[in-house]
Amino acid sequence: MSEFKADKIKKVKDALTTCTMCGFCKAVCPSFKSIGWDSAVSRGRMIITYGLLTGDLKADDSVVENMYTCTTCADCVRRCPSNVDIVEVIELCRSDLVESGHILPKHKAVAESVLKYDNPYSEKVSVVKTLGIEPRKAKIGYFAGCTATYREKKIAAASLSILKKLGADFTTLDEVCCGSVLQRIGVDEKESVRLMEKNVEAIKALGIETLILSCAGCYRMFKIEYPKFVDVPFKVLHMAEFLAKQDLKLKPLGNVKVTYHDPCHLGRHCKVYDAPREVLKKFPEISFKEMKFNKSASHCCGGGGGVRSAYPEEAKDIAGTRLDEANFADVIVTTCPFCVANLTAAAGDRKVKVIDLTELVDGSL
């Protein structure tokens, strides 16, 4: 008996019959590089999914581990010559595992927090109360997201400060978790749709025409996932896209060596590569150098897909590789609070500083 529900079987079967088992994905998979087992590479995960589908394999702890050590970075999707959407297969497999009761304790706690408090951090104070700015009618809405509100607070503060300095007609909003956490873990789709509806209603109620986000994960949700489930009657911009269009009067950065890390959710998932680089070019003096693996070939920070909460050692290991790749830089700029958190935690006493683009801009504006 297959673990899969009938409505998902066709998508999974199509992907599995397209995969030629060539192993090209092995060359790029960060979880494979960290763990070293073929079961922890995209191809291995396809074989596990096939076993679950045919019923030859039963979901046990090792199956769960191999499906959840994937960071959903999508580098395998880029590399796959057969265009298999491996991340989609992995996430479909995850949702079936959760449905049949196979959920990691850390993920269970995170999911319960989202269901109870509308954020993954068990924070009892709402986003607007935490940010300290009451919502009002305005053309621009700033969606801070849970991580910039409750953990990487400097990013939300810098974003709000930039909007003030630019004289934008903006507001905060009564936001709840964007739903990314539940989708990545594979929790009941109805719950993420409930969050989507709540957010869209809050945005519409304020007459917001453009929504600006500083989190790559939230941005992917509003840009790619929300339209699959709800009507999105407003423009969605990442802060980097918004800033790229502004006339910014920035102070020179001086002799600081800067590089840029593409978050997987902003880059490979949403194809936003140029905007952050255009913003960096607006600095009158900047010593900028790309990392060897950049844009669509960028390497993952290691924190996504629920890996940081469930497998912190793997998240740290993958982040260490990314930090090594930036060993020429004084500052790694990125555009996602989750990447900032994971790279910073792994940096330890390295001299490199990891900051969000909003912080860099706000400090020079």
Contact residues toward ligand SF4 (CB under 6 A) are: 19-25, 28-31, 42-43, 45-46, 70-76, 79-80, 82, 84, 86-87
Residue nearer to ligand SF4 on the CB measure, 39 or 130: 39
Task: CB nearer to ligand SF4: give 43 or 308.
Answer: 43
Instruction: Please report, for residues 14, 67, 280, the alpha-carbon distance to residue 167 in angstroms, rounded to integers and kept in the order given.
Output: 51, 46, 21
Query: Distance (Å, rounded) from C-alpha 171 to C-alpha 127?
Result: 13
User: What does residue 347 show for φ and ψ, rounded to 5 degrees?
Assistant: -65, -30
Q: How far is the CB of 17 from ligand SF4 (least distance, A)?
A: 11
Helix ranges restricted to H, 84-208: 86-99, 105-117, 127-131, 146-150, 153-165, 180-185, 189-205
The residue among 28 and 346 lying less far from ligand SF4, judged by its C-beta, is 28
Q: Find the shortest distance in angstroms from Cβ 130 to ligand SF4.
A: 32
Are 311 and 104 in contact, with CB atoms under 8 Å apart? Answer: no
Minimum gap (Å) between residue 126 Cβ and ligand SF4: 33
**Cβ 215 to ligand SF4 shortest distance, Å:** 19
CB neighbour list of residue 71: distance below 8 Å, 6 or more residues apart: 30, 31, 264, 300, 302, 303, 304, 305, 307, 315, 318
Q: What is the closest distance, in whole angstroms, from the C-beta atom of residue 356 to ligand SF4 in the complex? A: 23
Tell me whether residue 30 or residue 141 sits nearer to ligand SF4 (CB atom): 30
Please name the residues in contact with 336: beta carbons below 8 A apart, sequence gap of 6 or more. Answer: 215, 216, 217, 263, 265, 266, 356
CB contact at 8 A, 280 and 355: no
Q: Which is nearer to ligand SF4, 302 or 337 (CB)?
A: 302
Q: Which is nearer to ligand SF4, 119 or 298 (CB)?
A: 298
Both tokens assigned to 308: 């940081």
Q: How far is the CB of 10 from ligand SF4 (least distance, A)?
A: 18
Task: Please state, in angstroms and as integers, the Cα–Cα distance from residue 289 to each residue in 153, 294, 299, 315, 325, following that order.
Answer: 27, 10, 16, 25, 12
> What's the closest the beta carbon of residue 340 comes to ligand SF4, in angstroms?
20
Rounded Cα distance between 315 and 304, Å, is 8
Nearer to ligand SF4, 280 or 323 (CB): 323
